[in-house]
Amino acid sequence: MNKDKYIQQKDKNITKFAECKACCHSISFFKNELIGDVLDIEMFKASKWIMKQKESGINEGKCVFYPNTVHENIKSGEIDIEQAYQVIPIIYFDFSSELQRMSVIAHNTFDKDYVLYTKGSPEMIESL
């Protein structure tokens, strides 16, 4: 693999990892505060992404997630939220202690990809 392709693949992997941290959780908003599992909240904060409850009519799902840099461009009016790079969780598979994992199917509006993100105990993820 040449160096440019390696860098592109590495950047894509970093982006996918960031998307996973940003949307593979079960946190939500209540009175403008994040609620849910403390570890999920801290992981989401570390992603430096924005979680926004959707207004009706924008794609599917109940929330959208996008990087902080995109958020700044939306606030300044440079781009419209419907045209922004965002990740929209479509289906949640809640954490199961029996399965030791949770998953979310998310739609990446920039790449037009649908991705299954899964997180859980290391031994369970390794077995998959």
| Alpha carbon distance 110, 44 (integer Å) | 20
- The whole-number pLDDT of residue 2 equals 53
Query: Average pLDDT for residues 97-102, to the nearest whole number?
Result: 87
What DSSP line would sit under 21-32, residue for residue? Answer: HHHSS--EEETT
**CA neighbor of 39 nearest in space, from 58, 56, 24:** 24
**CA neighbor of 92 nearest in space, from 69, 71, 61:** 61
122 pLDDT exceeds 80?
yes
Structure tokens of 72? Answer: 């700044």
pLDDT tens-digit readout, 2-39: 555 544 555 677 788 888 888 888 888 788 788 888 98
| Alpha carbon distance 103, 96 (integer Å) | 10
Q: How many CB atoms lie within 10 A of CB 76?
A: 8
Query: pTM above 0.85?
Result: no
